[in-house]
Structure 1
Amino acid sequence: MFKNRILKWVGIAFISLTYTACSVPALVQKTENKTVPASYNNLQDTTNTAKVKWQEFFTDPNLTSLIDLALQNNQELNITLQEIQIAQNEIRARKGEYLPFVGLRGAASVEKVPRYTNIGALEATTEIEPGKEMPEPLTDFMGGAYANWEVDIWHKLRNAKKSAVNRYLASVEGRNFMVTNLIAEIANSYFELLALDNQLAIVQQNIKLQSNALQIVKLQKEATRVTELAVRRFQAQVLNTQSLQYDIQQRITETENRINFLVGRFPQPIQRNNQPFENLIPKNIQAGIPAQLLANRPDIKQAELNLAAAKLDVQVAKARFYPSLSISAGIGLQAFNPTYLIKPQSVLYTLAGDLAAPLVNKNAIKALYYSANAQQIQAIYNYERTILNANMEVVNQLAKIENLAKSYDLKSR
């Protein structure tokens, strides 16, 4: 009977608190746009080079060794790996929040109560046991276990954990995107280095030819067949080409050091292929269709997972308007003398439930709710921007490949 009355009043209190606290503010709603063009330049081929592993795409052993070294030593990549570890620990923390907290507690104290107070007067006339007055001062010893648990009625804690999982997965995709950019930057710098080597060889060959021509012109001047103006003109050409040689050598040094920085080491010569540059013909690139970007691009996956996490954060913030139920319990032993702790009369226990809901002055939780929604909308815009940027990058690179091929054909005629 008594138990039923307690449950009845708890139910009434819960309904009342829910009714008074559940006035959730309205929010600005926005849905993400996942629309992408049907094709690139009217090409419907679904073959996609993005599915090819980089070890299969790049066959130069010097380049692949540089990439392998960068994946181990690159500082920025290693920083990202630690961010992944932080996100993983955040999952562990969120998971622990919706499980009961259990702990052990022990305490010892001594207390001297003033004689001329209500408590002091009461203790002076009270026997702690038959024939024995209350000791003064009074010691107290206690030890036991306690537990606290917030019942996740509105899935506030579970949604927070799911949000942390999505952010962890987003950090993994961020690392994958960084790896992609790192490989691309090393490959681009490596082939730029080969092009500079080829350009330097051509310039050095031109210096030899121009120097020989200068010697011929000097002999012709001695034979009075040309004037000093012709000699000066050829000298200017040689000096200009020599200056160009030093500019190229400086660019080679900077490119080598950029590669060294990416692989995480101090400046040193870069081992590279010595075969003629025109023999380094890359494989054909198949871009596939734009819809494949959503499945292949790590940056799009990262933005999508961050958006999912932001949506869950809104649900977490919304749950703060609803009543929360906490249960606490404890069991232990307490006595003024340690020898009494083993007696059944020293056992103590407690069990309590706490039902609370925000009623007045909800400014703080409203601000959190509005901020979570603003971050959700921000994540939507970032997701749409990432899709747009990815599509533009592919279109620009395809146009660049096509125009470079046409330029090469014209120059090779």
Structure 2
Amino acid sequence: MTITKYTYIRTLLFILTIILHSCVPTKTVRSAKKTMPNQFEKIQKDTLNSASISWKEFFADEKLNALIDSALANNQELNIMLQQIEVAKNEIQVRKGEYLPFISYKAGAELEKASKFTRNGAVEENLPIHEEEAFPDPLPNYTIGLNVSWEIDIWKKLRNSKKMAVMEYLSSVEGKNFMITNLVAEIAETYYELIALDNQLRIIDQNLEIQQNALHIVKMQKQAARVTELAVQRFEAELSKNKSERFEVKQKIVEIENRLNFLIGSQPSSIVRNSDTFMELQMDSISTGVPSELLINRPDIRRAEYELEAAKLNVKVARANFYPSFGIKAGIGLSAFNSKYLTSTPGALLYNLAGDLVGPLINRNAIKAAYNNANSRQLQTVYEYEKTILNAYIEVVNELSNIENLQKSFENKNDQVISLTRSIEISNKLFQSARADYMEVLLTQRDALEAKVSLVQTKKEQLAAKINLYRALGGGWR
């Protein structure tokens, strides 16, 4: 009779599980598209890829490399990210512990006085025992033992949850690598911007010297009645204008220095740098490899891929919530009303063993909503992954075009600077011989200054474009 009863219960549970399984919703989310062109536009296939080069090799300036080294050790945002990685790493252990048995120990002592009008009190009152064998009143109780609880992970909900934590940890590691890539690029770009400002300041100083000499000549010519006071005032105004610009550039230098100090986690101080050879500075040509290598070299793409895997696992976890969970609870210990009997076995021995099956049956709306949300988040990460890939490809194409156009622009501007530099000397000689108006001298000096500053700016943009191409290819984090 008992065997038949247990068989009936097992059969009923099996049928119930089949029914619940058939009622679990299923959604299919499309796979992410990873297809990329075979080569970058207007660039032939290259077996080499500059992204594999360490930033210490890519940047030849030792002072710049020292700044990057300092930033990797002291940058606050990077250190915050490192702690987030530790949190994600610890979360793996938390999830891992959830599918292992929980064992706890217990030791306790209590004192109870039962009323005579309760079951326990009435039983003790009417026990036919001798006075020396009577229970103490009030009744103490001493207990020591172990308790075990374990949720059997039949549907792999807990294991998938742990795998999801692993994916999130790996995603945080790639997030750190992506931050390093951007940090290295930002420091290098800011460093060259600082050097460019130094060169702009030098150009302004050289131009101020030329203008001082021109003003001196104009004043002498006024004394000789060859020009009027108007010419003197125009030269003085131009001189004052450039002096004002000089202070603006000096302020920018202070701000850029402090920006670098912030990135390296340092108090405001002067940045040691190489400014003298800025205009002759060259970077080696960058090898782009093939577009598909972006999937490997770009940390943000790998981060998006891990986030996509975590989202897939989250869907499995959400789906497993529709199934019943199986749990086992057990305990063993010793209990006695007198401590001297506590070690007397089997009299003081107690134990228990229980198993349960719990699952949702009616009103599963919350579980359905969580499952639908998990599917929506998975589709969201699919779009995010595809967007990251597309953005990476476009960044590389843009910087390749930028480098080419900046090179042509630099060549033309350099020719312009050469011509205007010569024209300054020519205009001064013509002015002294009364064959040119003083406005021609002023305009020539102004045009030459603007052209030289623009040439420095273009040089800075050239360096920044190569840095950004190196970053876009996935270099800088190794």
TM bracket, shorter-chain basis: over 0.9
Corresponding residue SS for 2:145: strand
The equivalent of 1:399 in structure 2 is 401
The equivalent of 1:78 in structure 2 is 79
Q: Is the 8 A contact 1:124 1:134 kept in 2?
A: no
Q: Is the 8 A contact 1:159 1:313 kept in 2?
A: yes
Give the Cα–Cα distance (whole angstroms) in 2 for the partners of residues 7 and 98 of structure 1: 28
Q: Deviations over 1:168-196 (max 9, x none)?
A: 00000000000010000000000111111
Corresponding residue SS for 2:200: helix
The equivalent of 2:169 in structure 1 is 168
The equivalent of 1:30 in structure 2 is 30
Q: Is the 8 A contact 1:256 1:270 kept in 2?
A: yes
Matched, 1:123 2:124: yes
The equivalent of 1:332 in structure 2 is 333
Give the Cα–Cα distance (whole angstroms) in 1 for the partners of residues 118 and 270 of structure 2: 89
Change (3 A) 1:6 1:332: farther
Q: Is the 8 A contact 1:71 1:263 kept in 2?
A: yes
Which sections of structure 2, spanning at least 5 residues, go unmatched?
Answer: 416-478
Q: Is the 8 A contact 2:199 2:275 kept in 1?
A: no
How many percent identity over aligned positions? 51
Q: Is the 8 A contact 1:127 1:134 kept in 2?
A: no
Bigger Cα displacement from structure 2, 277-286 vs 180-189? 277-286
Q: In the TM superposition, what are the counterparts of 1:50-61 in structure 2 within 5 Å? A: 50-61=51-62
Letter of the 1:245 counterpart: R
Matched, 1:207 2:205: no
- Structure 1 counterpart of 2:383, from 381, 384, 396: 381
Letter of the 2:388 counterpart: T
Letter of the 1:360 counterpart: I
The equivalent of 1:273 in structure 2 is 274
- Structure 2 counterpart of 1:358, from 349, 355, 360: 360
Corresponding residue SS for 1:269: coil
Change (3 A) 1:212 1:328: same
Q: Is the 8 A contact 1:320 1:365 kept in 2?
A: yes
Letter of the 2:10 counterpart: G
Q: Deviations over 1:116-142 (max 9, x none)?
A: 234322221125789623332221111
Letter of the 1:392 counterpart: I
Give the Cα–Cα distance (whole angstroms) in 2 for the partners of residues 199 and 47 of structure 1: 36
The equivalent of 2:7 in structure 1 is 8
Q: Is the 8 A contact 1:124 1:133 kept in 2?
A: no
Letter of the 1:15 counterpart: F
Change (3 A) 1:129 1:355: farther
Change (3 A) 1:366 1:28: same
- Structure 2 counterpart of 1:408, from 407, 410, 428: 410
Matched, 1:219 2:217: no
Give the Cα–Cα distance (whole angstroms) in 2 for the partners of residues 58 and 190 of structure 1: 12
- TM-score, normalised by the number of residues in structure 1: 0.95
Bigger Cα displacement from structure 2, 361-370 vs 4-13? 4-13
The equivalent of 2:69 in structure 1 is 68
Give the Cα–Cα distance (whole angstroms) in 2 for the partners of residues 116 and 125 of structure 1: 12
Change (3 A) 1:7 1:95: farther
Corresponding residue SS for 2:342: helix
Change (3 A) 1:363 1:373: same
- TM-score, normalised by the number of residues in structure 2: 0.83
Bigger Cα displacement from structure 2, 124-133 vs 201-210? 124-133
Give the Cα–Cα distance (whole angstroms) in 2 for the partners of residues 69 and 308 of structure 1: 35
Which sections of structure 1, spanning at least 5 residues, go unmatched?
Answer: none
Give the Cα–Cα distance (whole angstroms) in 1 for the partners of residues 13 and 215 of structure 2: 100
Bigger Cα displacement from structure 2, 171-180 vs 239-248? 239-248
Q: Is the 8 A contact 2:204 2:246 kept in 1?
A: yes
Give the Cα–Cα distance (whole angstroms) in 1 for the partners of residues 130 and 14 of structure 2: 48
- Please state how far the C-alpha of 1:25 moved relative to its aligned partner: 2.5
Corresponding residue SS for 1:342: coil
Give the Cα–Cα distance (whole angstroms) in 2 for the partners of residues 218 and 380 of structure 1: 73
Q: Is the 8 A contact 1:17 1:357 kept in 2?
A: no
Give the Cα–Cα distance (whole angstroms) in 1 for the partners of residues 129 and 80 of structure 2: 65
Give the Cα–Cα distance (whole angstroms) in 2 for the partners of residues 401 and 378 of structure 1: 34
Counting matched residue pairs gives 412
Q: Is the 8 A contact 2:29 2:378 kept in 1?
A: no
The equivalent of 1:257 in structure 2 is 258
Q: Deviations over 1:264-310 (max 9, x none)?
A: 11211100014321221011112222111101000000010011001
The equivalent of 1:228 in structure 2 is 229
Change (3 A) 1:182 1:6: farther
Q: Is the 8 A contact 1:126 1:134 kept in 2?
A: no
The equivalent of 2:96 in structure 1 is 95
- Please state how far the C-alpha of 1:318 moved relative to its aligned partner: 0.5
Q: Deviations over 1:187-235 (max 9, x none)?
A: 0000111111111111110000011001100100000011112112211
